Amino acid sequence: MKEVQRKAPMEVQRRGLMLVLSSPSGAGKTTISRALLEQDPNLTLSVSATTRPKRPGERDGVDYHFVAEAHFKEMVAAGDLLEHAVVFGNWYGTPREPVEQALEEGRDVLFDLDWQGTQQISSRMAKDLVRVFILPPSHEELERRLRTRALDPEEVVQERMAKASDEMSHWDAYDYIIVNREFDRSAAEVRAILTAERLRRERQIGLNEFVQSLHRGTRQAENT
């Protein structure tokens, strides 16, 4: 009987993805993000560029990329940012190069963005983007969380509630919606989304060649 020479299976690589988590303040996005980063070594947090001054304890390149306003505007003009916005008089934006490098290397990047930032990235890299919106379980629970997280004046709480209402009005621009009733369950649901999105056919580089090699091996076995 003729011995069939078996080649080592072709390796299937994976292109990384961009996971955006958005939510109104108080819905639990930050807590879920921290859990994901602690539990998943292939997931890294996107580091934004900003023109605001560095605060005590912050590290350049870790907390933010701190740049002068003139340099930030040069980055905008050159198309070096995936998204950018002005917040309380300071510029913030996502540098394009480190994100694209991570995706090419098969690493996933986590983004903490509002609806406007998500829309900007969607217009540039929609195929790599996975958008998740986190909702509170109720209006009453959201207000309770906002009141108990800090001793803010009543007018600040009301401003945050109004902003939360505006942010939640854009829920239908996202791919997945999670109602954060219980933290462990919500974190598990985000991990399930991440696992499924990593297995999408279009993210697996070399998959066609791998399947073809399986077909060839099967035909060779049949002919022996």
pLDDT at 190 over 80: yes
The CA distance from 145 to 209, in Å, is 51
Q: For the segment 98-110, what is each residue's pLDDT rounded down to a tens digit?
A: 999 999 999 999 9
Domains belonging to the chain, first-starting first, are: 13-46+108-222 (3.40.50.300)
Q: Give the pLDDT band (50/70/90) at residue 5.
A: low
Q: What is the pLDDT of residues 40-61, one digit of tens each?
A: 999 999 999 999 999 999 999 9
% of the chain residues with pLDDT over 90: 71
Residue of 98, 48, 49, 100 whose CA lies nearest to 70 = 49
DSSP secondary structure of 165-181: HHHHTTGGGSSEEEE-S
Spell out a b/e string for 106-121, using b for 16 or more CB atoms within 10 Å of the CB, else e: ebbbbbebbbebbebb
What is the maximum span of the chain, computed from C-alpha positions, in angstroms? Answer: 85
pLDDT at position 61: 93
Q: Is 99 exposed, middle or buried (0-12, 13-18, 19+ CB in 10 A)?
A: buried
pLDDT at 109: 98
The pLDDT value recorded for residue 224 is 66
Pick 180 or 149 by higher pLDDT: 180
**Lookup: tokens for 89:** 């008089």
**Per-residue confidence band for 178, with pLDDT thresholds at 50, 70 and 90:** very high
User: What is the SS3 assignment for 37-96?
Assistant: HHHCCCEEECCCEECCCCCCCCCECCCEEECCHHHHHHHHHHCCEEEEEEECCEEEEEEH
- Amino acid found at 222: E
pTM: 0.86
What pLDDT, on the 0 to 100 scale, is given for residue 57? 94
Q: Residue 203, Cβ neighbours under 10 Å: how many?
A: 19
Question: What are the start-end ranges of the H helices in 89-136?
Answer: 96-104, 115-125
For all residues of the chain together, what is the average pLDDT?
A: 90
Residue 9 is predicted with a pLDDT of 56
Query: pLDDT at residue 145 above 60?
Result: yes
Residue 78: is its pLDDT beyond 70? yes
Q: Residues 72, 89: contact at Cβ < 8 Å?
A: no
113 touches 83 (CB < 8 A)? yes
DSSP 8-state code for residue 206 = T
Q: pLDDT grade, residue 151 (50/70/90)?
A: low
Q: What is the mean pLDDT of residues 5-15?
A: 71
Amino acid at 194: L
Contact 187, 132 (CB under 8 A): no
What mean pLDDT is predicted for residues 125-129?
96
Contacts of 215 (CB under 8 A, 6+ apart): none
Placement of tokens 């930030």 in the chain: 72
Residue 138 has pLDDT above 70, yes or no: yes
Give 159's DSSP letter.
H
